[in-house]
Amino acid sequence: MNILRKSKGLTALLKNPKLRYGGYASVITFTVVVAAIVVNLLVAQLDLQIDMTENNVYTLSEQTRGIVDELDEQVTFYVLARRNEEPAQVMEALGRYEQASPWIRIETIDADANPGFVAQYDPDGEGLGNGSVIVATEDNYRPIGILDLYSIDDRNPQAPVIMGLNVERRVTNALIYVATGKTPIIYQTTGRGEAPVEQIGDLAANLAAENYEIRSLNLIQAPQVPEDGAVLLMFGIRSDISEGEAQKIRDFLESGGRAVFMVDVLLEELPVLNDLLSGYGLRLSQGVVIEGNQNYHTGNEFQLVPDLTAHSITESLIEARSPIMMPYGRPIEILPQKPRGVTIEPLAQTSGDSFVRVNLENQDSARSAGDIPGPFITAVAAIDTEFASSEEISRIVVIGNARFLGPIYPFGYIPGNLDFILNAIGWVQNQQETLSIRAKFTLQFPMQLTGIQVLIFAGLFVVVIPLGILITGLVIWLRRRHL
């Protein structure tokens, strides 16, 4: 009898709506918790994370993956650091290489405890210490200093700011070098007032980091542009070249050579250089460009912020929304009669409100009589297939500015300007694999809100959302109260 009563009591208890709904809630809660644990385990094991950052901070670029996929020998990343003091962001970035290829492994070495090991990778005694990375194969190696692994804003020397990581850019270029052992040679012309590349900010250091060797070349004395030259660089000439120099450059280009010309505004005209460039349908016009549209200058009408045209050279800059700045730029004209076999692609262009002033004695930024209306091209790329074979297509980039690589008052060095010229040099060599690999910025800037936006967000998060939760809870409570 007691058993029967207990059975009926248990049945009644199980039929109790409150207990039934409570049991459902417990089962659902348990199921959700287990599912969350399983999903997190799968994501961790299968590497299913999705990089939602704007510039793919936590993902290797397609170009890097292509280079890594082509590896066929063991590559070791030696991270110089004390045990348990490895730089976390650098290790995380290097770990993505290790995950992407079985040919890559990471090894940590304490530089202070192993000076002999470090010395074999630092024969010049430049001071390779903890925080640095060495990319090495059995035959080749490339050390990367600690400062080269980060993008640093040092406009204030007393308080430099780390803006982001430069790991992928440096490591991928090091991989290219250790895998091939090749160092392209850039010949910079001299004898016409050009400033050495070594005096132009960080340009020389960045070119060296991208595996280039820089040599000077005086075409007045040299019989020709050396055949081992990958790129001819003409940077900031102060006077026109001679017919002899022009012919040597022409011979180099017609045999499939590559060149980058950067020319500032000059008082004198450049008939010989322009005759050379006319072979590509281009001409450096006289005068200085003045920008009348405030969206295309810095507040100083002579400091141009031109619109970038879609191209392999500008792609990474456009994606990163990294502008270039050209102080006192000169216009580049595309000639009406384009030579056969030549393809011309503008890279940077001013607005329709810009104008060119030929009278350089007039420093007024307002438009006056004699000024030529815009828009104007300030940088252009050209390809010539007329004289070269398919493997040796001649490529040039012409930029109506050279001083843009130096400090620009009051902004200092402009990161986009450096990336622009590095991309241009890479493009003329047809090195597409590294054009879009640039520093990945991790610095987070505070959100700037207007007064109206502050009120809207305050009302949403302080009033609307809490009130919605309160009403939902009240409705659920009232419904369950009557069950």
Q: Are 144 and 171 in contact (CB under 8 A)?
A: yes
Q: DSSP letter at 194?
A: P
- Written as six digits, the tokens of 125 are 């005694």
383 and 416 together in one domain: yes
- Written as six digits, the tokens of 56 are 């793919």
Q: Are 231 and 186 in contact (CB under 8 A)?
A: yes
5 and 62 together in one domain: no
- Written as six digits, the tokens of 314 are 């500008």
Cα 142 to the center of its chain, rounded Å: 21
Tell me the residue ranges of DSSP E strands in 11-116.
Answer: 75-80, 104-109
The pLDDT of residue 164 is: 75
Angle formed at CA 372 by CA 366 and CA 374, multiple of 5 degrees: 90
420 and 291 together in one domain: yes
Q: Which domain holds residue 463?
A: 446-483
- Written as six digits, the tokens of 349 are 């262009």
126 within domain boundaries: yes
257 within domain boundaries: yes
Number of independent structural domains in the chain: 4
The pLDDT of residue 11 is: 59
Tokens 């790129």 belong to which residue?
231
292 and 418 together in one domain: yes
189 and 335 together in one domain: yes
9 and 106 together in one domain: no
355 and 221 together in one domain: yes
pLDDT means per 10 residues in the chain (483 residues)? 53 57 69 82 63 63 85 93 88 91 93 90 84 92 87 68 80 89 92 88 84 93 94 94 96 93 93 96 95 92 95 89 93 92 95 92 82 94 74 88 90 89 92 61 56 83 88 82 65
Domain limit, last residue, from 148, 163, 183: 183
Give the integer Cα–Cα distance in Å for 393 and 391: 6
Of the candidates 258, 257, 260, the one whose C-alpha atom is nearest the C-alpha of residue 234 is 260
295 and 350 together in one domain: yes
136 and 228 together in one domain: no
436 within domain boundaries: no
Sheet-wide strand order for 75-80: 104-109, 75-80, 133-136, 141-144
263 within domain boundaries: yes
List of residues 6+ apart from 302 with CB closer than 8 A: 288, 290, 291, 327, 328, 365
Domain limit, last residue, from 117, 148, 183: 183
254 and 209 together in one domain: yes
Residue 252: which CATH number?
A: 3.40.50.880
Domain limit, last residue, from 382, 402, 428: 428
92 and 116 together in one domain: yes
218 within domain boundaries: yes
The pLDDT of residue 18 is: 58
Q: Are 352 and 374 in contact (CB under 8 A)?
A: yes
Write a three-state SS string for 97-145. HHHHCCCEEEEEECCCCCHHHHHCCCCCCCCCCCCCEEEECCCCEEEEC
276 and 315 together in one domain: yes
Give me the sign of the Cα torsion angle 93, 94, 95, 100.
positive
Cα 238 to the center of its chain, rounded Å: 31
Give the other-Cβ count within 10 Å of 437's Cβ.
24
Give the integer Cα–Cα distance in Å for 357 and 361: 9
